[in-house]
Amino acid sequence: MSLPVVQKKGDIILAGLFSLHDMVMEPSLSFTYKPPPAHCTRFNFRTFRWMQTMIFAIEEINRDGKLLPNITLGYKIFDSCSTPHQALKAVMELVGNEKVSGVEVETESQGTCRGAVPAVIGDGGSTQSLVVSRFLGVFQVPQVSYFSSCACLSDKKEFPAFLRTMPSDLFQVDAMVQLIKHFGWTWVGVIAGDDAYGLGGANIFADEVRKLGACVALHEVIPKNRAQITISSIISKIRSSGARVILVFAVEQDAAALFDEALREGLTGIQWLASEAWSTAAVLSTPKKYHHILQGSMGFAIRRAQIPGLQDFLLSLNPSRPGYEKLCKRKRAIFSAGLSKYRQYTAMAATSLYKTVWNGNETNIPLSVCSSICPAGTRKSIRPNFPVCCHDCVVCTAGEISNQTDAIECVRCIHYHLYADPGNHLYSVAGCCSPYSTKNDTTKDLLGMFGAALDKHVPYLLKLYWARNGAFGQKMEDLLKKLDEQTSDIVSHRKTAALRGLPIFV
């Protein structure tokens, strides 16, 4: 496709970069003849609407005589075909034709001014913007991106001329991590697209999740060629990981390739988390085939704003409009159903806010952990060669106790020690060390309590008896002490004895 795809003359020309196609069919290179030009395929209607929004804004400015009096804005819009080299080719053609390569003109009234192209609007993809910004930065030509969110582009030393109307992925990742923390998910998977946006965002997310104390069950990358064998391997790893919550940090085309394979292999029961690149993409929200696996998906989106007159402008477009012959080979109903379905999607989203429905029509929060909570009476034992979130619950050995969940270690029991906690539960650390409520006392229990109290005063009674009966009392005291020493580690599990701290002699 020749560049630019759409243009209009004016006193000042604004350049635009839009990924109007999702793929480039690269010609085979035999190095025996000049290769034919690359062929862009898979038209992207979402990006087409973004391009029309730029045109609409320029026409609105031209109609308002107060904004730029006696000046008409024009535009040259290029198709980057979602690839960095096509985006670079576009700006290089722009530089060659419009003389923005450092050429300056001195005037007495206006001072120094540049060529006819003062700024470039775009590109949407972070990978394309990285390449374009490095090139335009050499000539100090400002670039304003409408959808590039990679945190790497915030480096003003490397990208001094880059600006954007899109927040950095740092903010999106922070919100995602707070979501993980809120629902108590400690075992999550991360799937990234193989570009600056996907790789950068997924890496930041994985690092922040680990800082939170959670674990990353798997971290995979969707290749740009979207080879089925590779994506099938990713689906298999999702199954074997045991993670029920998976974040897909990728553009809509990569996400669609993943979900297509998930449909083919019947992968269900996954709570998908969406990055803003595909969370509201019609290519995924509109087709009914995705509803089964994407139901209940959660994600973040840029706040929607109403632009007066834009919808009517979009609905008035026609593929046969002058200047669109090369872009649209045949007549298509681009917007007739698209906006209606988008409104349906918005209504569904509003309903989801009222009543959260998780994947599989579940109303309970899905559980995504590597190991369950260890109950009282057990301790956590980390599995060798596994992340810290994966552990086994080991029962405390005889004579040990853990009176809290997820205990790191068991505590050695103190024999014959009776105490009460604030909840009015009596614990005998001797024997089974089990909690027991005083509300369950019976007549036999009272007998046990009497025996425990009597046992506490036996030494005093023996001393009193020995004082009156001489040698016989002394022998009885010595005998009882020896028996007590021999049986100090033998306790009964009967609640009338062990639970009340009464030693049993055998």
pTM attached to this predicted model: 0.70
Which run of H or E residues covers position 8?
Answer: strand 6-8
Strands (DSSP E) found in 348-506: 378-382, 391-395, 400-401, 411-412, 418-420, 425-428, 435-437
459: helix, strand or coil: helix
DSSP 8-state secondary structure symbol assigned to residue 278: T
pLDDT at 181: 93
Please name which of 37, 2, 45 lies closest in space to residue 21, comparing C-alpha atoms. Answer: 45
Instruction: Give the mean pLDDT of 426-443.
Output: 43
Is 389 in contact with 215 (CB distance < 8 Å)? yes
pLDDT confidence of residue 388: 84
Q: What is the pLDDT of residue 429?
A: 40
Mean pLDDT of 179-203: 95
User: In terms of C-beta distances under 8 Å and separation of at least 24 residues, what long-range contacts does 445-449 make, across chains too?
Assistant: 445/495, 445/496, 445/500, 447/496, 448/495, 448/496, 448/497, 448/499, 448/500, 448/502, 449/500
pLDDT of residue 60: 94
Alpha helical stretches, state H, 139-185: 169-183
Is the confidence at residue 256, as pLDDT, over 80? yes
pLDDT at 349: 40
Amino acid code (one letter) for 380 = K
Q: What is residue 465's predicted lDDT score, i.e. its pLDDT?
A: 58
- 3-state secondary structure (DSSP) of residue 151: helix
Q: Which two structure tokens, joined as six digits, stand for 396?
A: 């405390």
Per-residue pLDDT reduced to its tens digit, 278-334: 998 888 888 888 988 898 899 988 888 888 999 899 888 876 666 666 666 544 444
pLDDT at residue 454 tops 90: no
Q: Is residue 149 within 8 Å of 126, Cβ to Cβ?
A: yes
* pLDDT over 70, % of the chain: 68
Instruction: State the pLDDT at residue 287.
Output: 86
400 — pLDDT class (breaks 50, 70, 90): confident
pLDDT band at 270 (very low <50, low <70, confident <90, very high): very high
pLDDT at position 42 over 90: no
Rounded to whole angstroms, how far apart are CA atoms 250 and 346? 22
Domains belonging to the chain, first-starting first, are 6-164 (3.40.50.2300), 169-303+337-354 (3.40.50.2300), 415-506 (no CATH)
How many angstroms separate the CA atoms of 49 and 61, rounded?
18
Among 360, 353, 190, 349, smallest CA distance to 270 is for: 360
Task: Say what the pLDDT of residue 114 is.
Answer: 45
Two structure tokens written together for 307:
């632009």
Q: Would you state the pLDDT for residue 470?
A: 60
What does DSSP assign to residue 436? E
458 pLDDT exceeds 90?
no
pLDDT digits (tens, 9 = 90+) for 143-153: 999 999 999 99
d(CA 159, CA 114): 20
| Rounded (10°) angle between helices 471-486 and 443-469 | 140
Average pLDDT over residues 462-480: 60
Residue carrying structure tokens 């923390």: 181
Q: Given this model, what pLDDT does residue 418 score? A: 41
pLDDT at 328: 60
| Sequence-separated (6 or more) residues with CB below 8 Å from residue 403 | 376, 427, 433, 435
Average pLDDT across the chain, whole number: 77
CA distance 47 to 334: 12
